[in-house]
Amino acid sequence: MKKDIALRLTPQEASNEKYYKDIVAKKMKVHPDKITAIRVRKRSIDARQRQVMVQLHLEAFANAPAPEKEFVTFEYQNVSDKPEVIVVGAGPGGLFAALRLVELGFKPIVLERGKDVNERKKDIALLNRNNPVDPESNYAFGEGGAGTFSDGKLYTRSTKRGDFNKVLHVLHFHGAQDDILVDSHPHIGTDRLPGVIKKMRESIITAGGEVLFNATVTDLVIEDSSVKGLVLKDGTNIKAKAVVLATGHSARDVYTMLDNRAIELEAKTWAMGVRVEHPQELIDQIQYHSPDGRGEYLPAASYNFSCQVQERGVYSFCMCPGGFIVPAMTGENEMVVNGMSPSKRNSPYANSGMVVEVRPEDIPDEFRKQGVLAGLAYQKEVERLCYINGGKNLIAPAQRLTDFVDSRLSFDLPPTSYVPGTIASPLHFVLPYGISNRLQEGFKQFGKWANGFLDPEAIILGTESRTSSPLRIPRDPLSLQHVHIGGLFPCGEGAGYAGGIASSAIDGEKCADAVARMLGE
């Protein structure tokens, strides 16, 4: 006998099957000894009330052996002699596009400007020791894209993007933990993602596809308003009838190349601000309504805040409980920070981007001469200002959160997870007024909602500027090709059609389907 059961339990009760086996048996009207298996199908935490509860959706079996647990598997066909499709970028959008192309009977050729994930780890280790940034191998560029070393949160706010469950199953098939198929907010962790990414690459290659590293695309070959191929930095020309362009939100050179070729781009809304860090224990106390914090049975707490200040959104972004702040710049004279969490989320710090909505009309006049690239120029200038107001190399400008809110310079700084180091800087003055004053008001509002959030031991670092690109590469909503260039399929975060790992992965699959439709016509 099998029965689906929903239970609402305390964290301690939900932590061990023996606590709820009797409840399950009672609901199934059998003796507990007759229960042969209980499997968690979905798990979520409800911390809205004083008593934190865990919601479990279970699959219970009684009076007969439970069937063996089954997971979705994938058998990728051999496509070594199939039509080739170029995929530019080995981030989530590009990798999922490539795997989907294999499923559809096409041979993907993945071109990645950076290094494979093992070599990339070495460059990131140097970066964390305050060495100069390698513009082709960093926290944004390289195998797996920006997602590989930036936490691995997999949920998406959109219910319209596509098959989210398939994304989870593909990642699980390639080595992600079982929990991502269960938790309401699945998370792999920056320590486990590199292994998953490597196995995805191996699947592509085993199926007959190709993955080329240190392959920076510098130009497109276009004839009669259609893509015919592309050019690499070393001068290599590659022919192609279809190109999936999944280069990520930080590939500024790609936008510049497209603009120089008079290929239509469009400005869009994005966001910029700072990264704020608190002691994780404090966030646990606030979110779980307990002076004792999360205790033994709850995970490190997260938060999600948003409000409107002067007709612009102010909100938390990429919250990393039990995580670290990392240097995320992609070039010289830039100061950019991001956050990540390992799978166990066991750092003593909690960090989050805190950003302000920036619309095209908010760009200062001095950058307007850049045309559609004005947002990029503005973004880069703010990163330059934060670099100047930081310390040597990657030392970040920082300020106590309470000092920032009160427009006051910090004379000393609390400890932080940011390894390269920090230096006291008046970020309330360094950041553009439209950003800093809205952040100040937003922080005040969040402090009212979460008593204790405005803590003197909290620190902010600048700047959190790569939330998304200020540009979109416009595409036809049906064919998913560029509105004027046939065979060019803008994809994922860099194209302006996704946000985060899961959304970019879904978009990659959608673009692969669109490529198959075009080539099959």
> Over the stretch 47-72, which tens digit does the pLDDT of each residue have?
999 999 999 999 999 998 888 888 99
Q: Say if residue 476's pLDDT is above 70.
A: yes
- Distance of alpha carbon 515 from alpha carbon 495, whole angstroms: 16
The reported pTM is: 0.95
- The yes-or-no verdict on residue 90 having pLDDT over 90 is yes
Does residue 493 register a pLDDT over 70?
yes
Nearest CA to 300 among 315, 317, 320? 320
Give the residue-averaged pLDDT of 151-168.
70
Q: Which residues contact 499 (CB under 8 A, 6 or more apart)?
A: 156, 157, 468, 493
Residue 273 is inside which H or E element, if any?
Answer: strand 270-279
**What one-character-per-residue DSSP string does 208-262 give?**
T-EEESS--EEEEEEETTEEEEEEETTS-EEE-S-EEE---TT-HHHHHHHHHTT
What's the confidence (pLDDT) of residue 310?
98
pLDDT class of 450 with cuts at 50, 70, 90: very high
Question: For residues 97 and 37, is the Cβ–Cβ distance under 8 A?
Answer: no
The Cβ of residue 48 has, within 10 Å, a number of other Cβ atoms equal to: 9
Average pLDDT of span 35-44: 95
Spatial CA neighbour of 493 closest among 268, 261, 333, 272: 268
The residues, any chain, with a CB within 8 Å of residue 250's CB and separated by 6 or more, are 140, 141, 146, 330, 466, 469, 494
438 half-sphere exposure, CB direction, 13 A CA radius: 25
**DSSP symbol at 185:** S
Mean pLDDT along residues 213-242: 96
Q: Give tens-digit pLDDT for 343-400.
A: 999 999 999 999 999 999 999 999 999 999 999 999 999 999 999 999 988 999 999 9
Average pLDDT over residues 85-91: 97
User: Which two structure tokens, joined as six digits, stand for 141?
Assistant: 């560029």
Q: What's the number of CA atoms in the CB half-sphere (13 Å) around residue 46?
A: 11
pLDDT value at 37 more than 90: yes
Q: How would residue 161 be classed by pLDDT, with cut points 50, 70 and 90?
A: low
Percent of the chain topping pLDDT 70: 98
Q: How confident is the model at residue 162 (pLDDT cuts 50, 70, 90)?
A: low
Q: Quote the crossing angle between the two packed helices 193-206 and 92-103, to the nearest 10°.
A: 30
In percent, the amount of the chain with pLDDT more than 90 equals 91
Q: Which single residue is written with the structure tokens 């647990």?
A: 69
How large is the average pLDDT for residues 312-323?
A: 96
- pLDDT number for residue 241: 93
Q: Using CA of residue 438, residue 439, residue 442, residue 444, what is the dihedral sign?
A: negative
Predicted confidence at residue 159, as pLDDT, reads 47
Q: Which two tokens stand for residue 80?
A: 């070594």
Average pLDDT in the 118-134 region?
93
- In this structure, are residues 498 and 507 in contact, taking their beta carbons and an 8 Å threshold? yes
DSSP state of 320: E
| Statement: residue 153 has pLDDT above 80 | no
Confidence band, pLDDT 50/70/90 cuts, at residue 320: very high
Look up residue 366 and give its amino acid: E
Q: Return the structure tokens found at 332.
A: 């010289």
Give the three-class secondary structure for 401: helix
pLDDT at 155: 66
Q: What share of the chain is helix, strand, coil (3-state, %, to 5)?
A: 30, 25, 40
Task: For residue 503, give every residue at least 6 positions away whose Cβ sits within 8 Å of its Cβ, in sequence order, or none.
Answer: 156, 158, 161, 492, 493
Q: What's residue 499's pLDDT?
A: 81
Copy the structure tokens of residue 133. 């940034």
411, with CB counted inside 10 A (0-12, 13-18, 19+), is: exposed
Strands 312-320 and 306-309: antiparallel
Joined tokens for residue 20: 């709820």
Alpha helical stretches, state H, 261-300: 280-287
Mean of the per-residue pLDDT values for the chain? 95
> 249-276 pLDDT, tens per residue?
999 999 999 999 999 999 999 999 999 9
- Of 461, 465, 464, nearest to 420 by C-alpha is 461
Distances (CA, A) of 500 to 17, 71, 248, 302, 307: 34, 25, 10, 17, 21
| pLDDT tops 90 at residue 147 | no
Backbone angles phi, psi at 110, to 5 degrees: -95, 125
Per residue, what are the HEC states of 42-109?
EEEEECCCCCCEEEEEEEEEECCCCCCCCCCCCCCCCCCCCCEEEEECCCHHHHHHHHHHHHCCCEEE
